[in-house]
Amino acid sequence: MKILTIAGTRPQLVKVAPVSRELRKHATEVLINTGQHYDYNMAGIFFDELGIPKPDYDLGIGSASHGKQTGDMLTAIEEVIFSEKPDAVLVYGDTNSTLAGALAASKLYIPVIHIEAGLRSFNKKMPEEINRILTDHVSTLLFSPTEIAVQNLKNENITENVVNVGDVMYDAVLYNTSIAEEKYNLAQFGIKEKEYILATIHRADNTDSKEKLTAIFKAFAGLEETIVLPLHPRTKHKISEYGLSSLIEDGSNLQVIEPVSYLEMLLLEKYAKAIVTDSGGVQKEAYFAAVPCLTLRSETEWVETVEAGCNRLVNPLVEDLATIIQAFKPTDYSKPLYGDGQASEKIVKEILKYFG
Ligand code: UD1
Ligand code: UDP
């Protein structure tokens, strides 16, 4: 059996690592890297650090508008499908790389396998929501991380070949946390356990609003803790475009650093006093690390963390953002919200069962 895997962004590489490790024990995997993320610290370091096999195809698509980026990927992926003739195409999550892979395959009648199926924010202004919905509707085999995701699919009449396997990001955390502890330490960042807040910001809804970005950085300045901010390139560009560079300059409590590797990130998450983010993956990793999470969005697709009381949604434009961050102190992280850490094994078993 030949599976054509498509990935291209940082969070997809984190997810590919555990699944690919398992898949290659039982099937032939051909890996396409779309190149949606291309800076070494957004992509290459994940291949190197997580032992992801070298891609068979590097499409080198890079950044562009949604239409051009997705369209260029669609054309290039189609060509690979013609020459590789895979039994199925495997896509992850909700990025433009996901949608391009799903569209290219489904139009050629190649079954699509979607990992992280059924997630919904119910906000169609998010490009990711469009990508998720369209991908789920052309997928043949759908792997959901939760029962709520399975129910979301049911509500859209998608009921066949849907399996709740848990979250592959939990597999990744379990596999890598001790490796991270061995390899890195907080001293290299000049910080101490539970004395800093970790922040990540990259969601379009925040970065594309000067008002929201300003409010976020003003709130950070109002906190007494050090804020460690591995800065996503999208946010970096926007800060400079808006003329807000003074908000992130040295001398404040804000420690802006380049995007870090996955292992460094696991360490920074584990020992943070709190995490402030608009990332999807980081919300779950905060829960796995039992660290209070404040999500700077009005809705989340990872609703279980909010329902468990461990993640709080906050509009960045609220007046007292800094106070809200400081006051949030959840206590119960005991519920296994995202499975048992065996999602990759379950996924590969189901793929083998389906394709025989
Ligand atoms: C993409 C995904 C988003 C995901 C995020 C993970 C879509 C629509 N969005 O958002 O769902 O949460 O990845 O991080 O697929 N850039 C660089 N170097 C890079 C990559 C990007 O400088 O290696 C800059 C470019 O200015 C680019 C911008 O970041 O225009 C945005 O990159 P893009 O891949 O379009 O979207 P992300 O915001 O990264
Ligand atoms: N991450 C990382 N380095 C960073 C920021 C994030 O390794 O500097 C990891 C993070 O631990 C998680 C994944 O990248 O595993 C989340 O990616 P991102 O926030 O870019 O995307 P999203 O999950 O929102 O789609």
pLDDT band at 247 (very low <50, low <70, confident <90, very high): confident
The answer to the question of residue 265 being in a domain is yes
The pLDDT value given to residue 321: 87
Atom of ligand 1 nearest to the CA of 127: 8
Q: Do residues 156 and 281 both lie within one domain?
A: no
Instruction: Provide the number of structural domains found in the chain.
Output: 2
Q: Does residue 96 line the site of ligand 1, with CB under 6 A?
A: yes
The answer to the question of residue 29 being in a domain is yes
**Can 202 be counted among the known catalytic residues?**
yes
Cα separation values, 82 from 4, 68, 79, Å = 11, 21, 5
The answer to the question of residue 275 being in a domain is yes
* pTM for the predicted model, two decimal places: 0.98
What CATH number is associated with residue 297? 3.40.50.2000
DSSP letter (8 states) at residue 307: H
Cα separation values, 165 from 93, 149, 161, 338, 349, Å = 14, 11, 12, 9, 11
Residues near ligand 2 with C-beta < 6 Å? 10-11, 14, 200, 202, 230, 259-262, 265, 279-282, 285
The answer to the question of residue 332 being in a domain is no
Model confidence pLDDT, tens digit, residues 23-58? 999 999 999 999 999 999 999 999 999 999 999 999
Nearest ligand to residue 204 Cα: 1
Q: Do residues 232 and 251 both lie within one domain?
A: yes
The pLDDT value given to residue 250: 66
Q: Do residues 54 and 189 both lie within one domain?
A: no
Q: Do residues 181 and 163 both lie within one domain?
A: no
The answer to the question of residue 334 being in a domain is no
Q: Do residues 15 and 163 both lie within one domain?
A: yes
Q: Do residues 107 and 149 both lie within one domain?
A: yes
The answer to the question of residue 333 being in a domain is no
Cα separation values, 339 from 284, 344, 356, Å = 12, 11, 25
pLDDT band at 330 (very low <50, low <70, confident <90, very high): very high
Model confidence pLDDT, tens digit, residues 179-203? 999 999 999 999 999 999 999 999 9
Atom 14 (ligand 2) nearest CA = 11
3-state secondary structure of 131: helix
Q: Do residues 198 and 125 both lie within one domain?
A: no
Q: Calculate the average pLDDT of the chain.
A: 97
Q: Do residues 10 and 142 both lie within one domain?
A: yes
Model confidence pLDDT, tens digit, residues 112-158? 999 999 999 999 999 999 999 999 999 999 999 999 999 999 999 99
CA pair distance 306, 126, nearest whole angstrom: 19
Q: Do residues 179 and 152 both lie within one domain?
A: no
Q: Do residues 282 and 149 both lie within one domain?
A: no
Q: Do residues 163 and 187 both lie within one domain?
A: no
- As beta bridge partners, residue 294 has 276, 312
What is the enclosing helix (H) or strand (E) of 7? strand 2-7
User: How many angstroms is it from 17 CA to the middle of ligand 1?
Assistant: 20
Block residue for tokens 């660290």:
291
Mean of pLDDT values over 224-249:
94
CA pair distance 58, 53, nearest whole angstrom: 12
Q: Do residues 146 and 214 both lie within one domain?
A: no
Q: Which domain holds residue 82?
A: 2-167+339-355
